[in-house]
Structure 1
């Protein structure tokens, strides 16, 4: 069946009300039917079956399926009056109950006043100003409703805080100077006065620098803090012939019999025991892996030349021996190192035996 015929067969018959408007068949019954508690005489209107859903049934029905021009945006600014502002008389045209200019007394939602006299002292309600879009500029006024007094009030708060901070700093400074003067005038001796007359110390240091009650606030004490005792010296001033020295940075006593100085002028201790054994095993694994990698590279290069490849130094995938990794296979590395050491000792003994057979002198080796 063609799509058009299928659509016609499935389509429902369009129904219209008395006003000629289409009746939507998909509206539920509990929306299209008026509830029982409403006046059935006013809701059962044959011209509009959704009359009971209208906000104002007297207005014409607006179809939202077609684009229409809206009413626009009405911008309002609520200018709140502080609670401390009390007026004796509300402005003309305002609500006689709360003083708002937006509504009258009969529409006021505030608590009714007992005294309705307009001359009674009362608090003013917030005022609402509506933006009137009269021309091009007024529609795009970004500062509509902004009051410059708000910025002045905020700036005044900041200035008051800064002023209070400066006053506190001045008060603390005066208090500190008074405390210094009090301590300086507490103890005067002939020696301090004579040093001050000679210009060796300042006047305010008299009685504080050379008294038992000297504090850390004096310039002399502050100078002592900046001059630190240093026990370290540059490496070029150290005596290399000194067999025993002390490194204050690392706090290590350097003994040439227990270590050596590397290329970075750092003291490195000689390894002993298991640490030395592990270091020898690690170097053995590194050297053997390096030799195997080099041999593998030579074999791959030779095979490339024999095979007639254009790029003999092309990318080759390295094949690593896991048995030469002291972290992955420590036991295998130890066994390989032990086997290599035994082979080396066997070769040395064989060479020694041949030399003794050739030149003699075996009796002197016993």
Structure 2
């Protein structure tokens, strides 16, 4: 620590130091300078600015926080291999190496070939002294295992190994040539030796049979090494390499880090590294591509069958007894097909419809026909059979419940509903009643009810009404529903004078904002059959005046728009 190098400070010195640090932080005193004359920031914490004990120089500095400067030429510096110092001595010197006579090392450190009689005793062939070189190395350079490596040395090693391999190959070729002979007697002797215990004596005595030749080929094929693996024929142990040396590694096919994941432990890549290529055209489509080819799907089905059988309590295990699992799986599939056929036959026997399952042969469905059809440029048939029109996917012309017409063939204007034209019924699931239903629909129509109400309301000879209502509200409801058309319905004819008066009244009414809501409610009641305040009935002109005043201005900007082209 810096304080330990300087010594313990007194109380007065400590106080002055604190005051000076406070002044430096406030900016009233100049910053402290390090050994190289660079200012030190006073706001740097002490645990950063204070150097550790093994780098402490006794002075304030931040050099221990800076990266040491390394010159580029220092990396290339290394010892000069085999360099000797000075001229060679002519006689042995005291204290020199007893083997070679060099002064820079001793006998147990000598790299020369050990001599029968060293230079100490013979005084001959004295080697020059080694050049002691001092190469300064940093922390990383000392621990670099490849520091000072010369690639030229490895080239010499490869050339040496290549020369040795060429020599071995020549020796093997010479041995093969020496073992090969053209002597027929020697060939016959080797062939007889290959026969066993006098068997096949009726064969050709000069050469062996074709079966013997095939057996030799198989024997030599077993002894040969397969690509990517080494097989010991004696111990039957296979030592398989993880990949062939000439093959490209999986992780080198696509160097994009966002591509398929590569597991370095198992050296597997399940997904395809290149996704925009078809699997059959890709160089490598992933390890999962092999799971869907060959016998892999059958193996997965067998494993699934073993798991499901074990879950039901059966003793089936694929790895423990694969033969049993294969037999049970085969029996299970046969039984499943048998049950499926039985169920199909039983369903057809119970419900029928076997004729609909029969289809024409594929050759006839997709084959040619003898029908001649000639078309025009627009696609119209000129000669031959007319095209069959495309029908809707929905059911057409389906008659239900004794109806002679389809649903939607008749429309009731009074009620606004669709129905059947044969019986005028507006209920979809109803049963057809024919002409009686039409008469009943006419009798119950709105117009007939209105006529009946009017006829019932007419007085008799004694002055009494034919139709008796339970209350006046029932009478008003009938008159409102069947007596007259509602406002805004049917053909509306407007009177200009009445419309202008209605517009003036509506403008006056609109100026009163408080009465607007109540006025609209009263108009709604008038439109439903009641009377507006004051005893006047709401007419079509009043309704049109309200609509124009309501939609005029900012509420409907297109209300007063007129097209000059058409208006002119």
For the aligned pair, the TM-score class normalised by the smaller chain equals: under 0.3
Higher relative contact order structure (alpha carbons within 8 Å, sequence separation ≥ 6): 1
Which has the greater radius of gyration? 2
Normalised by the length of structure 1, the TM-score is 0.27
